[in-house]
Amino acid sequence: MKYELVAGFETHIELATDTKIFCSCSTAFGGAPNSHCCPVCIGLPGTLPKLNKKVVEYGIKAGLATHGKIANISKMDRKNYCYPDLSKAYQISQLYAPLTIGGYVELSSGKKIRLHHIHIEEDAGKLIHSHGDTYVDYNRGGVPLIEIVSEPDIRYIDEAREYVEKLQQVMRYIGISDCRMQEGSMRCDVNISVRPEGSEKLGTRTEIKNMNSISNIMKAMEYEYERQVDLIENGGKVVQETLRYDDATNTTSSMRSKEDAHDYRYFRDPDLVTICVTDEEVEEIKSTLPELPTEKYKRYVSEYGVPEKDAQLLTKYRNISEYFDKAITDLKKPKTASNFIIGQMFRILQTEEDKEAFDVKTTPEQLNELCKLIEGGKVQNNLAKSTLDKMLESGKPCTEYISEEDMAGLDDSFVDDLCRQAIEANPKAVEQYKQGKEKAIMACMGYVMKNSKGKANAQDVLEKIKSMIS
């Protein structure tokens, strides 16, 4: 029997606010243990939390960017549990009335992974195990989080990868988080179950907690899928539980039996007021959002004729797409600029971090100027390419390297002469071409391009030479 994978995600994302969710302590990563703390965020009795407005704003941005509905009224609840990373023995979160409802993340196939809701909450502290002792660092306690809860719409491990990448991309675009999985500012819990293919009924699910890299998520899901299928095929039953993934052994192991919401005895936090957001406020926040990557991607492909694969590269990071948007001002063929970005610029921006920062010496205006020379027929591609290399090194405009003479264009009869000379100079290649070896003609073409200093139009030259030979 074939089994279908059914998976849903709970994704925690740390918000890039300067201060914590209920006090004015810094949210900066690192710092000496317990140096970014105050009575509120270590939960001393008698202190009162006060909600950071920016957290609500960022949460609304996340909801809008994932097509969710923003709740006009939402509330904070206490999630009760006892563990040393949370000294007041409850986490302030949202259960009954979260900030945003519904929405979806669209994959490249067009499939939409629906979201159940997004809520805001506080992060807990960190336990540090060292030399047989355990220490607590509350610097992270009270750092604001959003939790994005998806419906169990994921059927393939590749869909899971793309879902996480898309979330990462969109949250970075709207500037609410750096989503660095290795630093813990984005962490995923995955709910997994399997069911016989064709069945509508959901199987019993397990939850793999706190994964901090996309490759671990994929490996853990694969392992857990196989484990559940094996179990069922051997007459066993999947038990609802919370698992930990160990990347050293590539296995999952049980942490605890999976709890349900009622285990936490959630109740409304009486210390915090109801969050009221008007439609006007939502509209105002919406107007500050940039164009989102999926929309940009569609625009590049349909309006500009950029190939899909290139459009994906251009929209991966906001800095690249904004550079491209500026560089193509008034261009007839935006693809010229996209080729330069993906070709020559990406070559000097080798790591993903480099690409994300997109710090190149050539300004988009300078690239635009160069592209316009090509479109105007003033320079040929070869010359433009070598010019761009120099521009990228120096930061100077193309006019530094291309003279008036270069741009003067070539007299047609001069090109004819060069073609004739090329044929005379390459008798062997001409002979081979006549015998059917198409590529041999490139020797003649090379001669013309070289002697015209790359100014001749390659396509014209090719046609001229061919007609002269035959």
In the complex, the residues that contact Zn ion under the rule CB under 5 A are 23, 25, 38, 40-41
Least distance to Zn ion from the beta carbon of 27, Å? Answer: 10
The CA–CA distances, whole Å, from 296 to 255, 302, 304, 314, 418 equal 42, 10, 11, 9, 45
Least distance to Zn ion from the beta carbon of 144, Å? Answer: 12
Least distance to Zn ion from the beta carbon of 14, Å? Answer: 15
DSSP designation for 290: P
Least distance to Zn ion from the beta carbon of 53, Å? Answer: 16
Specify the residue, 16 or 38, whose C-beta has the smaller distance to Zn ion.
38
Least distance to Zn ion from the beta carbon of 41, Å? Answer: 3
Backbone angles phi, psi at 348, to 5 degrees: -90, -5
Which residues, listed in sequence order, are joined to residue 77 by a DSSP beta bridge?
Answer: 93, 268
d(CA 309, CA 55): 35
Q: Taking Cα atoms as reference points, which of 352, 345, 353, 356 lies closest to residue 322?
A: 356
User: What is the SS3 assignment for 93?
Assistant: strand
d(CA 378, CA 367): 15
Specify the residue, 143 or 220, whose C-beta has the smaller distance to Zn ion.
143
Specify the residue, 41 or 360, whose C-beta has the smaller distance to Zn ion.
41
Both tokens assigned to 27? 């949210």
Specify the residue, 138 or 324, whose C-beta has the smaller distance to Zn ion.
138
Q: If you count DSSP H runs as helices and E runs as strands, how many of each does the chain have, helices first?
A: 17, 17
Least distance to Zn ion from the beta carbon of 171, Å? Answer: 24
d(CA 41, CA 46): 12
Q: Taking Cα atoms as reference points, which of 31, 11, 9 lies closest to residue 20?
A: 31
Least distance to Zn ion from the beta carbon of 272, Å? Answer: 15
Rg (CA), the chain: 30
d(CA 54, CA 101): 19
Find the angle CA(118)-CA(295)-CA(106) to the nearest 5 degrees. Answer: 45
- State the greatest distance between any 2 C-alpha atoms of the chain, in Å, as a whole number: 96
Least distance to Zn ion from the beta carbon of 24, Å? Answer: 7
Specify the residue, 122 or 310, whose C-beta has the smaller distance to Zn ion.
122
Identify whether the C-beta of residue 153 lies closer than 8 Å to the C-beta of residue 166. no
Specify the residue, 25 or 56, whose C-beta has the smaller distance to Zn ion.
25
Specify the residue, 38 or 231, whose C-beta has the smaller distance to Zn ion.
38
Specify the residue, 25 or 164, whose C-beta has the smaller distance to Zn ion.
25
Question: How many C-alpha atoms does 258 have within 13 Å on its Cβ side?
Answer: 19
Least distance to Zn ion from the beta carbon of 38, Å? Answer: 3
Specify the residue, 41 or 170, whose C-beta has the smaller distance to Zn ion.
41
Q: Taking Cα atoms as reference points, which of 266, 210, 204, 188 lies closest to residue 241?
A: 204
Which residue in this structure is represented by tokens 């750096």?
178
Identify whether the C-beta of residue 383 lies closer than 8 Å to the C-beta of residue 402. yes
Both tokens assigned to 339? 């080729």
Least distance to Zn ion from the beta carbon of 45, Å? Answer: 15
Specify the residue, 269 or 389, whose C-beta has the smaller distance to Zn ion.
269
